[in-house]
C-alpha cells in the first residue's frame, strides 16, 4: 500500500498562499471586467442597430466555441508581444499574469454577457415602454430601471459563474504560472510528494467552492423563495 | 510585427519523418473526437443513473447521489485529471498499480482522460436529468403509483420517457462542453488537438498558423454538433411542451 507523508505541506503553506493570491487576483479581475464588458456586450446584442448586435453575437459565439485552454494559449502568445510594443518593454518581460488576466476577462465576458442578456430580457417589456412614456432616454431607462432589476435577478447566476471561473483559473498551469494549483504541483514535484499535494489541492478547492456554492444557494432562497 | 506567414508548413514532412504536419493535426482531431465521444457515452449512462437516484425517496441513495454531484462539481477539471493520472495508480493495490504503470503510456493517458471527462461530465448530466424529472407535474408520479405501478415501474413507464426527452436541449450544451474540456487533457501529454497544435509550434516556430488551424477545428466541431443536435431535438420534441411548437 502507498504510505502517505503529509509533512511537506506545513512548510509549503506560505508559498501556496502566494499562489492562492494569484488565483484570487485573476478571478477578481475577470469577474469585474467580465461583468462590465459583459453588460455592454449584452446591450449591444439586444440593440436594434444591426452591426452592433452582429459584433456582439460573433464575439460571444466565438469565445464560447473555443476551449479555454486554447484561448489562454492565444493570449499568452499575443498579449506579451502587443504590450511590449505598446510600452516599449524589453522582449521577454514576464507578462504571463497580465496575459492570464486579460484572457480570462475577455473569455468570461462572453459567458457573463449571456447571463446578463437573459436577465435583461426577463424584465417585462412594459417597463421599457413606461420609461419611454415618461420621457426617459434609452440610457436613463437602462441605468435607472432595467439594469437594477435585471442584476437583482441575476446575482445567484453571476456568483455561480464566478465559482466556475475560480476553478478554471487552475488552467494557467499551461503557462507554468504559479497559481494555487501550480504552486501545489511544484512543491509536490520537488519533494516527490505529488500524490499528497494533488489530493491536498483538490480538498482545498472543494472546501472553498462547496462553501461558496452553499452560500449562493442560501442567497437564492432568501431573494427568490420558491 | 514582422511575422513570416507560411501556410505551406502543414504540407512539410513532420519531425518524425513519416508524416506531414497536417497529418499530426488530423491525428489530434481524431483523438479529440474519439476521446470525447467515448467519454460522452459513459457520462450519459452514469449521469442518467445518478440523476434518477437524486430524485428517489430513499435518503441513503439520494444522499450518495448528491455527494457524487457535489464532489465532481467543486473540484477543477485539471485537478481531477491530475488525480486520476498521477494519484490513482499509486493508491491501487501494488500488483494492479504496477500492471497499469507498465502498460503503454498512451493507454494510460487515454484511460485517465476518459475516466476524468466521463465522471466530470456525468455530474453535470445528472443535474440536468434531475431537473428534467422534477419539472414534470407531481401528479404524474402519483397517478403512476395510484394505478398500481411500483416505484421503479413508475420511473420506467411514466417519468423517464418524458424526462429524457425534455433534457435533450440542455444536454446539447454539455455535449459541446465535453469536446472543449477534452483540450485540458493536453496537460498530461495526451496528443489531442490542442496538444498537437502546441507541438507543431515547438517544431516549426509558426504559432499563428498552428493556433488558427486548431481554433478552426474546434469551431468546426462546434458547428457540426449544434447542427446534428438541432435536428435531433426537432425529432424528439414533446408536442405542446416547452420548446414544442
Q: What is the CATH number of the domain that holds A65?
A: 1.10.3720.10
Residue of A17 and B95 predicted with greater confidence: A17
Chosen from B28, B35, B73, B76 to mutate, greatest number of chain A CBs within 10 A = B76
- On whether residue A6 sits in a domain, the answer given is no
Going by pLDDT thresholds of 50, 70 and 90, the confidence category of residue A204 is: very high
Nearest 5°: the CA angle B49, B50, B53 is 90
Q: pLDDT at position B1, please?
A: 54
Mean pLDDT of B102-112: 92
Nearest Cα of chain A lies from the Cα of B32 at a distance, in angstroms, of: 12
Q: For residue B25, which phi and psi values (nearest 5 degrees)?
A: -60, -45
Give the three cell numbers for residue A22: 494569484
Residue A11 has pLDDT above 70, yes or no: yes
How many structural domains does chain A have? Answer: 1
Residue of A29 and B102 predicted with greater confidence: A29
Q: pLDDT at position A146, please?
A: 94
- On whether residue A162 sits in a domain, the answer given is yes
Nearest Cα of chain B lies from the Cα of A114 at a distance, in angstroms, of: 13
- On whether residue A1 sits in a domain, the answer given is no
Range of the domain at B31: 16-236
Scanning the structure block, which residue is given the C-alpha cell 505551406? B8
Query: How many angstroms separate the Cα of A47 from the Cα of each of A112, A114, A124?
Result: 17, 14, 17
- On whether residue A3 sits in a domain, the answer given is no
Going by pLDDT thresholds of 50, 70 and 90, the confidence category of residue A153 is: confident
> Residues of A with CB below 8 A from B79's CB?
170, 181, 198, 201-202, 205
Q: pLDDT at position A225, please?
A: 60
Contact A195 B91 (CB under 8 A): yes
Going by pLDDT thresholds of 50, 70 and 90, the confidence category of residue B242 is: low
Going by pLDDT thresholds of 50, 70 and 90, the confidence category of residue A87 is: confident
- On whether residue B6 sits in a domain, the answer given is no
Range of the domain at A96: 12-223
Residue B141 neighbours by CB distance under 10 Å: 18
- On whether residue B183 sits in a domain, the answer given is yes
- On whether residue A193 sits in a domain, the answer given is yes
Cross-strand partners of A146: none
Report the sign of the C-alpha dihedral through residues B60, B73, B182, B87, in that order. Answer: negative
Contact B87 A167 (CB under 8 A): no
Residue B245 has pLDDT above 60, yes or no: no
Cross-strand partners of B20: B13
Contact A209 B198 (CB under 8 A): no
CATH number of the domain where residue B102 is located: 1.10.3720.10
> Residues of B with CB below 8 A from A173's CB?
78, 187
How many structural domains does chain B have? Answer: 1
Is there a contact between A103 and A72 (Cβ–Cβ < 8 Å)? Answer: yes
Is there a contact between A182 and A173 (Cβ–Cβ < 8 Å)? Answer: yes
- On whether residue B38 sits in a domain, the answer given is yes
What is the SS3 assignment for B3? coil
Mean pLDDT of B130-151: 94
Residue of A167 and B243 predicted with greater confidence: A167
Mean pLDDT of B4-27: 85
Is there a contact between B77 and B181 (Cβ–Cβ < 8 Å)? Answer: yes
For chain B, the average pLDDT equals 92
The question of ipTM being above 0.85 is answered as: yes
Residue A203 neighbours by CB distance under 10 Å: 12
Q: What is the largest CA-CA distance in chain B?
A: 77
What's the rounded Cα separation, in Å, for the pair B203 and A47?
46
Contact A205 B214 (CB under 8 A): no
Cross-strand partners of B13: B20
Q: For B144-200, how does the pLDDT look when each residue is reduced to its tens digit (9 = 90+)?
A: 999 999 999 999 999 999 999 999 999 999 999 999 999 999 999 999 999 999 998
Amino acid at each position: 500500500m502507498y504510505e502517505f507523508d503529509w509533512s511537506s505541506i506545513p512548510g509549503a503553506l506560505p508559498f501556496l498562499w502566494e499562489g492562492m493570491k494569484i488565483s484570487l487576483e485573476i478571478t477578481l479581475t475577470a469577474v469585474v471586467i467580465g461583468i462590465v464588458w459583459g453588460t455592454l456586450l449584452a446591450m449591444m446584442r439586444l440593440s436594434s442597430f444591426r452591426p452592433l448586435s452582429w459584433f456582439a453575437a460573433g464575439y460571444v459565439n466565438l469565445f464560447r466555441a473555443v476551449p479555454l485552454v486554447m484561448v489562454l494559449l492565444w493570449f499568452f502568445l499575443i498579449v506579451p508581444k502587443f504590450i511590449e510594443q505598446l510600452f516599449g518593454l524589453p522582449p521577454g518581460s514576464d507578462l504571463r499574469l497580465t496575459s492570464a488576466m486579460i484572457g480570462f476577462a475577455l473569455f468570461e465576458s462572453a459567458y457573463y454577457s449571456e447571463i446578463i442578456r437573459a436577465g435583461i430580457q426577463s424584465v417585462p417589456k412594459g417597463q421599457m415602454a413606461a420609461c419611454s412614456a415618461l420621457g426617459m432616454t434609452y440610457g436613463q431607462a437602462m441605468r435607472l430601471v432595467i439594469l437594477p432589476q435585471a442584476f437583482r435577478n441575476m446575482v445567484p447566476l453571476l456568483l455561480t459563474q464566478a465559482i466556475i471561473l475560480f476553478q478554471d483559473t487552475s488552467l494557467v498551469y499551461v503557462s507554468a504560472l504559479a497559481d494555487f494549483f501550480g504552486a501545489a504541483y511544484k512543491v509536490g514535484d520537488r519533494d516527490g510528494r505529488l500524490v499528497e499535494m494533488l489530493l491536498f489541492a483538490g480538498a482545498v478547492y472543494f472546501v472553498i467552492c462547496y462553501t461558496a456554492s452553499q452560500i449562493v444557494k442560501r442567497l437564492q432562497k432568501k431573494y427568490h423563495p420558491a | 510585427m514582422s511575422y513570416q506567414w507560411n501556410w505551406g508548413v502543414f504540407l512539410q514532412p513532420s519531425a518524425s519523418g513519416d508524416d506531414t504536419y497536417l497529418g499530426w493535426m488530423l491525428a489530434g482531431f481524431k483523438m479529440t473526437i474519439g476521446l470525447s465521444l467515448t467519454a460522452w457515452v459513459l457520462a450519459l449512462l452514469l449521469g442518467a443513473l445518478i440523476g434518477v437516484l437524486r430524485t428517489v425517496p430513499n435518503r441513503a441513495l439520494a444522499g450518495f447521489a448528491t455527494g457524487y454531484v457535489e464532489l465532481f462539481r467543486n473540484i477543477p477539471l485539471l485537478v481531477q485529471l491530475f488525480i486520476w493520472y498521477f494519484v490513482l495508480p499509486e493508491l491501487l493495490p501494488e500488483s494492479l498499480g504496477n500492471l497499469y504503470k507498465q502498460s503503454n503510456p498512451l493507454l494510460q493517458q487515454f484511460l485517465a482522460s476518459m475516466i476524468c471527462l466521463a465522471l466530470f461530465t456525468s455530474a453535470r448530466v445528472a443535474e440536468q436529468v434531475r431537473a428534467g424529472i422534477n419539472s414534470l407535474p407531481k401528479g404524474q408520479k402519483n397517478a403512476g403509483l395510484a394505478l398500481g405501478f411500483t416505484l421503479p415501474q413508475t420511473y420506467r413507464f411514466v417519468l423517464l420517457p418524458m424526462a429524457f426527452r425534455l433534457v435533450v436541449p440542455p444536454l446539447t450544451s454539455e455535449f459541446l462542453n465535453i469536446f472543449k474540456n477534452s483540450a485540458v487533457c493536453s496537460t498530461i501529454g495526451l496528443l489531442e488537438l490542442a496538444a498537437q497544435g502546441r507541438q507543431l509550434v515547438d517544431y516549426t516556430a509558426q504559432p499563428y498558423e498552428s493556433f488558427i488551424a486548431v481554433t478552426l477545428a474546434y469551431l468546426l466541431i462546434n458547428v457540426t454538433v449544434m447542427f446534428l443536435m438541432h435536428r435531433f431535438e426537432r425529432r424528439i420534441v414533446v408536442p405542446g411542451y416547452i420548446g414544442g411548437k
